[in-house]
Each structure stands twice: as C-alpha cells, then as structure tokens.
Structure 1
C-alpha cells in the first residue's frame, strides 16, 4: 500500500520534472505548492489551525539535534 507521503512525493517530483522542461525554477514550483496546499487546507481547517501548522514547519526549518528524541 502506498503511503500518503509517497503518493504526494511522486506527484511533486513529476511537477518538478515538468517545470524543469519549461525552465521554471523549483522554488517557483514549491511556492505554488504551498499556496495550493493552503487552499486545500482552508476547505477543512480553521485559519488558526493552518497558521499553527505553518509556524511549526517554519520553526523547524533548521536541522537540529533533539537530545530528548534519542533512543
């Protein structure tokens, strides 16, 4: 069974490949993916919930060594 991540990842990679054929930079694709993801989220979740999720992603952009998560 395909995971949701695998399904989405496959489509993102296809979008990036198609964009490259048209000389569209990957960061442009990424920005549009974020905008479209927010559009989808707005149909089911509150603005506050979406903000919270986006802030979590922003706050965790840097790779960190979380000692408390080690086995």
Structure 2
C-alpha cells in the first residue's frame, strides 16, 4: 500500500501535489483573511476573534467542551514567545 493511500485510510489529510503542511495551508489562509479584512477596513483583532470563534465551533463538532477548553488553556498558558513551553521547563 502506498504511503498516500495508507495515510488516507488513517484519516490523515495531506496535500501531496503541493507538498504543503497543515501549518503552511493555515498560514496562507490566515494571511489572506487579514489582508482582505484590512482592505475592507476591519480591525485585525475583529478578524482574529471571528476566526477563533470559527475554530472553536469546528473543534466542537468532534471534540468535547472540556477537551476544547483544555486545548485553548494550553495555548493561552504558552503564548509568551519569550518563555519555553511548560513541559520543556526543568
């Protein structure tokens, strides 16, 4: 079985033709949303808040409320770029 076929059966979605990672795809769309919003006169904070709301809604389609809260808490607890992740600290 080819790697692409195997990953598909495991539920993994990979963009093979472009070789883009999920992070690269998300970053491209995020940048486009920010640019479009700024062009329309919307504040960056408003767009970020709207995207966060959409992300939470999508998460809740397949994850429990407690799991989503845990994910968001982890991100909030580790959002300082000058600080190591909690699990990396000695």
Aligned counterpart in structure 2 of residue 40 of structure 1, from 48, 58, 65: 58
Q: TM-score, normalised by structure 1?
A: 0.88
2:66 aligned with 1:59: no
Indicate the residue corresponding to 1:31 in structure 2: 49
Structure 1 or 2: more helix by fraction: 1
Indicate the residue corresponding to 1:2 in structure 2: 20
Compute the displacement of 1:65 (Å): 4.2
Q: TM-score, normalised by structure 2?
A: 0.70
Compute the displacement of 1:22 (Å): 0.8
Note if contact 2:78-2:84 (Cα within 8 Å) is conserved in structure 1: no
CA RMSD of aligned residues (A): 1.8
Give structure 2 stretches of 5+ with no counterpart.
Answer: 1-18
Deviation >4 Å, runs of 4+: none
